[in-house]
Amino acid sequence: MNVIISTSELASDLAGGNAPVLLDVRWQLSTAKAAGEPPFDGRAEYAAAHIPGAVFVDLDADLASPAGPGGRHPLPDLGHFGSVMRAAGVSADRPVVVYDGGQGWAAARAWWLLRWTGHPSVRVLDGGLAAWAGELESGEVTPAAEGTFVPEPNSVDLLDADAAAALARSGLLLDARAAERYRGDVEPIDRVGGHIPGAVSAPTTENVAADGRFRPADELAARFTSLGASSTAPVGVYCGSGVSGAHEVLALAVAGIPAALYVGSWSQWSSDPARPVATGPDPQ
């Protein structure tokens, strides 16, 4: 199935008889702010204006557990995640479309979680709210009826630290962070800079065009093939905390390449002094 949807396709689906469940997952990475600058408030942004019918989902509260040994955005409690999805109207027999402000990272995290837990039809709005030219509404949306979705995770799409380390040697492990963080030139968030030994630098920002939409599938396939993807070797992705990495998994899916996600990512890996760290431009 398609994993992304255009704004024109979404507008047509919303006008049709089987409109998808719409999830608004606006979020920004929390880094050091200038004194007095208010933090980003995704719920307030949603309440001010969103695509009609969309329900807000909080990435930090609903798509992750509190930061800790598992990283900055570890997997959410599945009971809580399922409850939030049902409250948003999600059922397995109804398609879901997820969007964010335009970067696509948060929407991809929701897409990945729903796919990993068994939902058969989830797509991300290509370009996000920034690409939407249709009507907007304000206020909160309460679905007319709760959904029935029950999360049933699989073991194929998820990597832990040991599996990521092994995949870097036996297959292809992509690092979706900025190249300077991969090299260890800078590290604004985590304990130490660098990368998992054997991982290949593949910044997720290079998967999209200037307007935030994904590059064509053939261009993405060529990019990932040039980085070492093949039909025989398994592919995995990590990032800082399992958010931008989900966006790279989505880009790989657009290209027709299945990939697993190391959710703990660098925030978990680098917090353990026993884990090896490579620096510089070369994987090793």
Which residues form the catalytic set?
239
Residue partners of 31: CB distance under 8 A and separation at least 6: 188, 189
CA–CA distance from 225 to each of 2, 30, 218, 219, 263 (Å)? 20, 33, 10, 10, 23
Query: Are the C-beta atoms of 23 and 57 separated by less than 8 Å?
Result: yes
Two structure tokens written together for 249: 């998994």
Residue 72 has phi, psi (to 5 degrees) of -75, -30
Q: Using CA atoms, how far apart are residues 43 and 28, in angstroms rounded to an integer?
A: 12
Query: Are the C-beta atoms of 227 and 202 separated by less than 8 Å?
Result: yes
Residue 266 burial by Cβ neighbours in a 10 Å radius (0-12, 13-18, 19+): buried
CA–CA distance from 114 to each of 33, 61, 152 (Å)? 32, 16, 9
**Does residue 175 come out as left (phi exceeding 0), alpha (psi in the -120 to 50 range) or beta?**
beta
- Taken as a whole, the chain contains a residue count of 284
Q: Using CA atoms, how far apart are residues 167 and 209, in angstroms rounded to an integer?
A: 29
Counts for the chain of helices (H) and strands (E), in that order: 10, 10
Q: Which stretches of 221-270 are assigned E, i.e. beta strand? A: 235-238, 260-262
